[in-house]
Every structure is written in C-alpha cells, then in structure tokens.
A and B are shown apart, each in its own frame.
Chain A
Amino acid sequence: MRSDYIYPILIFIPLAIIQTTVIPLISINGYVPDLILILLVLYTLKEGQMYGMILGFVLGFFFDLATGNVIGSTMLSKTVAGFVAGYFANENKLTFYLKSYPFILIVLLCAIIDPIIFSFFSAGSLNTNIFKLFFEQGLIPGFYTAFVSVLVILFYPKRSIG
C-alpha cells in the first residue's frame, strides 16, 4: 500500500467512531451527515481520481466491516463517490476548491450520489418512487453533509493547501 493511503486510513478510524457514536445524536429525522464522505472528497481532490476510487473502496470496506452493513454496499457507494469527486481533482485549482464554496458543491454532488447508490444496492426494494428516493435518500442527507463540510473550509490548515 502506498504510504499516502495511510494518513486518510488513520484519520478514518476516529472519524468512523464519531460517525457511529456522536453523529447519530445530531440526526434530524434519521438524516445524518457523512463524515467519511467528506474525508474521501477532500483526499480525492488532493490526490486525484484513481486515488479517490481506491480510497473509497478501502474506506467503504472498513466501514462495512465495522458496522455490520452488507459487505460491499458502502464499498460500492464510496468507490462511485471517489470516482465522481475525481473529476474535479486538479492541482492548480485545489486552493480555490478548498478555500471557498466549490468544495461544498462537490461534497453535495457526491453526498447525493453516495446514499442513492448505497440504498439502491442495500435496500433491496426497487418499487419505491424514484423522485422520493432521490429526495429522501439523496438530496436531504446530501445538503446536511454539505453543510457540515463548511467546517472543513473553516478549519482546514491553509498551509497544507498552498
């Protein structure tokens, strides 16, 4: 494993614990922000699409193992999210992304796609209204995750971007 995969995996461990212990306390009607996804988008923008996909795959695997989800479901959704976020990876624009609103929009896009893919492959039943699925599983949790990602812009060390 490349050494630059180690840091996000190390960050993932406390983040996964926060995701499963603290974050449920701030859930709104069952909607929770996805901290793992924010981490994934952040590192994908820094390191590129290929890195993002593989990182999503690895983090998804660990998250599935730790939480008892169907193994493969988070792996798949995070891999797709890494792939999508990877389209925005550009070394020259990294400062621009991480210092202002584009990062929130990229997180929003990935946070809409990720739970839709996850629910599509883990929920089993497909006879639900597609618009309801998009709205309830994608848009609302996506906005919540994007809102929380503002914290990254506010507190991310500026020297590590430049």
Chain B
Amino acid sequence: MFRFFSSFWNNFKEYIVFVLLVIFCLFIMSFSEKPGIKKARAMAFGTYAAVSSVVSNIVNTAGIKSENENLRRINAEQMLQISLLRQYGIENQELKGLLRLRDTIKYPIVQGTIVSKSISRSQGSFTINIGTNSEIEPGMPVINDQGLIGIVQSTSANYSIIRTLRSPDLRVTVKNERTRVDCIMKWNGIDLVMVNVPKTFDMKPGDRIVTSDLSSIIPVPLPVGLVEGISQVQTGMFNEIKVHPFADLSKTENIFVIKLIQSKEKNNLELNFYNIK
C-alpha cells in the first residue's frame, strides 16, 4: 500500500501539488473580503507603498517638465472657463436671490499622489499617499481634473488603495445627463459598460454620463464619460452601453479625494458591495 502511494506520489506529485495550490487559491479568494484579511492587506500595502513612493517620487520628477507645460495649458483653458462661470455665477446669484434660495453645497477635497499602480486590461487599482491621517475613509470618491477615477477601497495611516473604474467589483449608479435616465455602470473586464439598460431608454453615442444622485457611494454629479456605443443585444429587453471614461487612468498621477460618505442609514437600505464595513 505504502509502495503504491509512494509510486503514485512520485509519478503525479506535480499534478497533486498543482491541484492543491489551485484549490487553496480559490479558497483564499473567497475569503479576501473578510475583515481580518482586509486588515492584513492594509498593513502590507502600507509598508509596500512607503517604499514604492520613494521610487515613484524619483520617476515623477522626471516627468515634471512636460507635466508643467500641460498644466499651464489647462490653466489657460480653465481661466477662460472661470471667467465665463463667474458671469454665470453673478447671474445665478441674482436669480437665486429672486427665488430666495441659498447654495449650501460644498465638498472638502484632499489632494493626493499615486505612488503605485497595479494595472492591466482586466483590472486596476492605485495606491495613493494619503490615508487615515488625512481623514480618508473607505468609500470616498476619487476624482482628477477630468472626472471620476474610482473610490477609496481601504486605508492605512498614510496610504490608501483606490478601486478604480477598471475594477470589476465596483458598480456605480450613473445617469445620462441629457435624458436623466439612471443605470448601473461597471467594468466587464474589457470595457466600461452600463448594464441592463432597457432598450426603450433614450441613449445616443456622445451622451454625457455623470454619477447619479441615487448612488449610495457617490451621490454628487461627477463627470464619468461619454456614451461610446450601444451593443444591440438581439434577445431580451436590455442593452449594454459602452462608456468611454473622461479620466485616462494610465496617465493619471495626481488625484483628489472628496471627503464625503453617504449616511449609513441610506447605505444600509441600498444594496452595494460597500455596505460590508
């Protein structure tokens, strides 16, 4: 009997170990969202990010010149926009005064820098150099000057991991700015898509997509992208709408975290992956 097992092991040990390792990987994947594992992960990426931020700073310094030129151009464009907005603001104040309304919406934002990126075509997460010491909490939306980047997934004292729009497990409620239709948007591994959109909904290529007020994670209208194409599903009642994001994740270096978390009461009512805390 022993000889049988011994020869079996000698002949198939690679396959046996392979199967055991694969089973263990699948097992650990199913537990990756447990609080204990999240805590261990926060400690590990905090340590790793401290080291990689040094390298990242050196690498980023090399690109500062071209970035400065780009920023100057953006500044000039924004200056023109600001002067236009000031004009609108004055008109707005007059009109609000007439309606006796007051603008009370103000969101504090914190600037951060990406210290490492784990990107591929199928998924993407960033590590940024701000964490709980800057009052960053999981669930806060992350933007850049172009639009939504993602949300904070987990935090350590000085670093945070961002789940970007390219993370398959991030689902955001968005709406078409033109038609005010709400949908769920997610990364399907290849494209950013709005899923289960009824065929009767009015969607056209070029429509601007923003985050919806209904979202449990991002309840303020942040620009997300433009409708790129509509896949005409032959069967069923739903379409899948491809969205081209405004933010170029591969080139993003600086981000802003909006210090905003929806009320727990609302969160508990809505089904979202983020409710587990």
Contact = CB atoms under 8 A, between A and B. Distances in A.
Question: Which of A18, A60, A68 counts the most chain B CB atoms within 10 A?
Answer: A68
Interface string B88-126: 000000000000000000000000000111111111010
Nearest to B127: A68
Contacts of A75: 25, 28
A162 interface: no
Contacts of A123: 122-123, 168, 187-189
Interface in A86-100: 86
By size class, the interface of chain A is 35 or more
B154 to A, nearest CB: 7
Contact of A20 (B52, B189, B190): B52
Contact of A132 (B56, B117, B190): B190
Contact of B59 (A25, A30, A80): A25
B45 interface: yes
A105 B124 CA distance: 27
A66 B122 contact: no
By size class, the interface of chain B is 35 or more
Interface string A9-21: 0000000111011
A70 B18 CA distance: 20
Given A71-B29, A71-B41, A72-B28, A136 B14 contact: no
Nearest to A22: B59
B120 A54 contact: no
A137 B191 CA distance: 12
B17 interface: yes
Contact of B120 (A22, A49, A53, A118): A118
Contact of B190 (A66, A137, A141): A137
B161 A125 contact: no
Nearest to B161: A68
Nearest to B240: A127
A18 B14 CA distance: 31
Contacts of B190: 128, 132-133, 136-137
A60 B25 CA distance: 10
Given A21-B115, A128-B190, A136-B190, A65 B168 contact: no
A119 B26 contact: no
B268 interface: no
A121 B189 contact: no
B189 A76 contact: no
A161 interface: no
A70 B32 contact: yes
A121 B27 CA distance: 12
A68 to B, nearest CB: 4
Contact of A68 (B41, B63, B121): B41
Contacts of A118: 120, 122-123
Given A57-B25, A79-B22, 4 more contacts: A30-B119, A79-B25, A123-B188, A136-B190
The 5 closest A-B pairs by CB, nearest first: A123-B189, A119-B122, A72-B29, A67-B118, A20-B116
Interface of B: 13-14, 17-18, 21-22, 24-30, 32, 37, 40-41, 44-45, 48, 51-52, 55-56, 59, 63, 115-123, 125, 127, 153-154, 161, 163, 168-169, 186-190, 249-250
